[in-house]
Amino acid sequence: MASISDRQYSKTCAELAACLSISIASARRKVEIAAAQEGIKDLNLRKEIAKNLLNKALLMKDSGQNLAASNLDNLLEALAEEENFMIED
């Protein structure tokens, strides 16, 4: 799929990527998937979807629900039975 070369759309996707701690390509893909689910092909409506996703992500971040950071913290946390586990070469 060809990339959309609209400055405002790209900026909004970059802000969404920064907020969610994902790549810009992943943020664009997230917007494209949301647009495809709603059957939207218009650029202006895709910009609105990107803005809505950004606003939702900012609200979650402001309320302390930063999912990417909390998921990473949970994955890096050692379980009690794995604390002393070492891998030998």
What are the backbone angles phi and psi of residue 87, rounded to the nearest 5°? -95, 130
**Residue 82: inside a domain:** no
The CA-CA-CA angle for residues 55, 45, 39, to 5°, reads: 110
Residue 51 within a domain: yes
Domain with 64, as residue range(s), is 7-75
Yes or no: say if 38 and 49 are a contact pair by the CB < 8 Å rule: yes
Identify whether 37 is part of a domain: yes
Q: Cα(37)–Cα(31) distance, rounded to whole angstroms? A: 10
User: Is 86 a member of any domain?
Assistant: no
Which two structure tokens, joined as six digits, stand for 76? Answer: 């890096």
**pTM of the model as a whole:** 0.68
Cα(first)–Cα(last) distance of the chain, in Å?
Answer: 45
Domain count of the fold of the chain? 1
Instruction: Please report whether residue 81 resides in a domain.
Output: no
- 57-66 per-position pLDDT tens digit: 888 877 766 6
In a domain, 85, yes or no: no
Asked if residue 2 belongs to a domain, the reply is: no
**Under DSSP, is residue 36 helix (H, G, I), strand (E, B) or coil?**
helix
pLDDT tens for 12-50 read 999 999 988 889 999 999 999 999 999 988 889 999 999
